[in-house]
Amino acid sequence: MPQIEYALNAVGQAKTTLGIKAVDGVVLVTEKKAQSVLVDQKSLEKIALLQPNMGMAYSGMGPDFRVLSSKGRKAAQSYWRTYKDSMPASQLVREMASVMQEYTQRGGVRPFGVSLLMAGYDDEGPQLWQVDPSGAYWAWKASAIGKNSISAKAFLEKRYNPKMELEDAIHTAILTIKEGFEGAITEDSIEIAVVGKDRKFRVLSPEEVKLYVTEVE
């Protein structure tokens, strides 16, 4: 289907996003360099919270991501109102994948021009999922999407350790995204989010990001 190919091309030309699953949590890291030095970097957000124990990041078209974020939050809130509990990560992933698949076959709409990396922690432990514009989804130990995804995955295959803890995963994620990064990495040029057994999903502050970047230099 040509429209899905166009959507995948939009993802392939976008800034890189990657995720790593550790034994005690998941980390997401994404580039958020602006197209112009005149853009206020603080206004750029590429990671969204869906529910306390789950969030997602993207590569592709920002406006499409905002629509999907809204739909994901509504699904999670609907589940909470019914069961008074957080929606299982795999179920929320399927919900998002179904929405994206539906937009490949409905008249008057086009496929979403984004791929998602969704990170969560529930009774099944840490989980990392990738959802593509076609609605296809997979669980990963570590994955990357976007412009430098091929080289990033090759780097992760060499560095990934299934026994690594979250702190080590954060360092590995920064080193991975640094491989294809143009210029120096700063707290303003990447965004990092974590979720874990005793850690709700949250985006790290610029000060925390700066500390981690300094540690891997």
- What is the model's pLDDT at position 211? 97
Instruction: Tell the residue number behind the tokens 């124990």, with chain if given.
Output: 53
Q: Dump the DSSP string for 60-97.
A: E-HHHHHHHHHHHHHHHHHHHHHHSSPPPHHHHHHHHH
pLDDT above 90: residue 184: no
Residue 1 banded pLDDT, cuts 50, 70, 90? low
pLDDT above 70: residue 53: yes
Complete domains list, the chain, with CATH: 2-216 (3.60.20.10)
Query: For residue 194, what are the β-bridge partners?
Result: 27, 202
- Mean per-residue pLDDT of the chain: 94
Q: What is the pLDDT of residues 111-121, one digit of tens each?
A: 999 999 999 99
Q: Is the pTM of this model over 0.85?
A: yes
pLDDT above 80: residue 122: yes
Mean pLDDT of 140-145: 98
Helical residues (DSSP H) of 119-205, grouped into ranges: 149-159, 166-179
Mean pLDDT of 101-120: 94
CB contact set of 137 (below 8 Å; sequence gap of 6+): 93, 94, 96, 97, 129, 130, 131
pLDDT above 90: residue 36: no
How many beta carbons lie within 10 A of that of residue 180, not counting itself? 17
pLDDT above 90: residue 183: no
Residue 127 banded pLDDT, cuts 50, 70, 90? very high
Mean pLDDT of 167-185: 91
pLDDT above 90: residue 106: no
